[in-house]
């Protein structure tokens, strides 16, 4: 067996999420079906993170085990051929050690969330951003976000169906910035941690949006965190503004 790491980009709209499902399309299922075209057998790949329905990726990482000693570039080209027309692309591939694991070898995951602030519907960014028709106070959102940094019990920002063993996580970065783009002003949330709870990033963003809109004071986010109560969370943002931006490993495979 030869283990190959894959860097994967995808548009999440057509999929029920990363994880393979029996009756719905998934990113994992699409890649495994493409692998079966190259080596006809059952394939099971592992990923750094299981994104939800509608969530996108620019830097998802997965690994597969191949019987043939594929040259990584040739494997990525062959997979991209068989993945058409699904909006999934293998943007890089690399040979890794047999004990390397896309999920368990990862040191941290990085997410990006995009909010587009404009009234006119976006023709080009529809499904790729959360579009709102009001302006946001970035400084107030950053002040509120700072309360979430560090080691905390994030029960408030955890989905009720989260399967993580503990709600305690360490948040290393939650940076908020406004960016001027061709289609209008956007607010970007850069989020970094070793691991995340289910819906944690979307819960952060939905809550911080309320601060930016003036509906919440920044200190209310601190109070919500300390409540360790899901009812204290603000609205959960929609999935289509969220991207798995990258994964860090001790020795970068790509």
Q: How large is the average pLDDT for residues 232-242?
A: 97
For residue 226, the domain's CATH number is 3.30.70.660
Asked whether residue 143 falls in the same domain as residue 155, the answer is yes
Radius of gyration of the chain from its Cα atoms, rounded to whole angstroms: 19
Asked whether residue 146 falls in the same domain as residue 134, the answer is yes
Cα 81 from Cα 230, distance rounded (Å):
44
Asked whether residue 37 falls in the same domain as residue 97, the answer is yes
- Are 56 and 240 within 8 A, CB to CB? yes
The catalytic position among 52, 65, 92, 172 is: 52
Q: How large is the average pLDDT for residues 95-114?
A: 98
For residue 81, the domain's CATH number is 3.30.70.580
Asked whether residue 87 falls in the same domain as residue 129, the answer is no
**Is position 145 within any domain?**
yes
State which H helix or E strand residue 33 sits in: helix 27-38
Q: Which residue, of 83, 105, 127, is where some domain finishes?
A: 105
Q: How large is the average pLDDT for residues 172-179?
A: 98
DSSP-derived 3-state class of residue 138: helix
Asked whether residue 158 falls in the same domain as residue 211, the answer is yes
**Is position 73 within any domain?**
yes
Q: Of 21, 25, 65, give the one whose Cα is nearest residue 44.
A: 65
pLDDT > 90 fraction of the chain, expressed in percent and rounded: 98
Q: Which residue, of 82, 105, 128, is where some domain finishes?
A: 105
**Is position 126 within any domain?**
yes
What's the sign of the alpha-carbon dihedral 81, 25, 59, 46? negative
The predicted structure's pLDDT at residue 253:
95
Asked whether residue 239 falls in the same domain as residue 149, the answer is yes
Q: Which residue, of 70, 105, 140, is where some domain finishes?
A: 105
Structure tokens at 115: 């909010």
Asked whether residue 116 falls in the same domain as residue 234, the answer is yes
Could you report the per-residue pLDDT of 19-50, keeping only the tens digit for each?
999 899 999 999 999 999 999 999 999 999 99
At 3, the pLDDT band (50, 70, 90 cuts) reads very high
Could you report the per-residue pLDDT of 184-199, keeping only the tens digit for each?
999 999 999 999 999 9
The predicted structure's pLDDT at residue 161:
87
Asked whether residue 190 falls in the same domain as residue 140, the answer is yes
Cα 49 from Cα 38, distance rounded (Å):
25
65 catalytically annotated: no
**Is position 254 within any domain?**
no
What total number of domains does the chain contain? 2
The predicted structure's pLDDT at residue 92:
98
At 126, the pLDDT band (50, 70, 90 cuts) reads very high
Cα 51 from Cα 99, distance rounded (Å):
24
* pLDDT of 160 over the 90 cut: no
Q: Which domain holds residue 94?
A: 2-105
pLDDT > 70 fraction of the chain, expressed in percent and rounded: 100
Cα 111 from Cα 94, distance rounded (Å):
23
Asked whether residue 36 falls in the same domain as residue 86, the answer is yes
Asked whether residue 179 falls in the same domain as residue 71, the answer is no
At 226, the pLDDT band (50, 70, 90 cuts) reads very high
The predicted structure's pLDDT at residue 163:
86
* pLDDT of 247 over the 90 cut: yes
Asked whether residue 119 falls in the same domain as residue 235, the answer is yes
Upper half-sphere CA count for residue 4 (Cβ side, 13 Å):
26
**Is position 252 within any domain?**
no
The predicted structure's pLDDT at residue 120:
97
**Is position 253 within any domain?**
no
Asked whether residue 166 falls in the same domain as residue 183, the answer is yes
């Amino acid at each position: 067996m030869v283990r190959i790491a894959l860097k994967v980009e995808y548009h999440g709209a057509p999929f029920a999420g990363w994880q393979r499902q029996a009756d719905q399309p998934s990113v994992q299922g699409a890649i495994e079906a493409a692998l079966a075209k190259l080596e006809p057998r059952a394939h099971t790949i592992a990923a750094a993170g299981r994104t939800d329905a509608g969530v996108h990726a620019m830097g998802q990482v997965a690994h597969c085990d191949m019987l043939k000693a594929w040259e990584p570039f040739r494997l990525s080209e062959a997979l991209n051929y068989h993945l058409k027309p699904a909006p999934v692309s293998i943007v890089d591939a690399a040979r890794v050690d047999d004990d390397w694991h896309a999920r368990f070898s990862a040191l941290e995951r990085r997410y990006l969330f995009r909010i587009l602030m404009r009234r006119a519907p976006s023709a080009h960014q529809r499904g790729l951003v959360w579009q709102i028709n009001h302006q946001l106070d970035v400084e107030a959102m950053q002040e509120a976000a700072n309360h979430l940094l560090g080691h905390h019990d994030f029960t408030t920002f955890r989905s009720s169906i989260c399967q993580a063993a503990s709600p305690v996580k360490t948040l290393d970065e939650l940076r908020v910035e406004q960016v001027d783009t061709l289609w209008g002003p956007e607010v970007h949330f850069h989020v970094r941690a070793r691991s995340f709870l289910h819906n944690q990033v979307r819960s952060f963003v939905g809550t911080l949006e309320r601060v930016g809109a003036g509906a919440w004071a920044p200190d209310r986010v601190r109070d919500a965190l300390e409540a360790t109560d899901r009812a204290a969370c603000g609205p959960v943002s929609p999935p289509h503004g969220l991207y798995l931006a990258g994964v860090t490993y001790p020795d970068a495979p790509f």
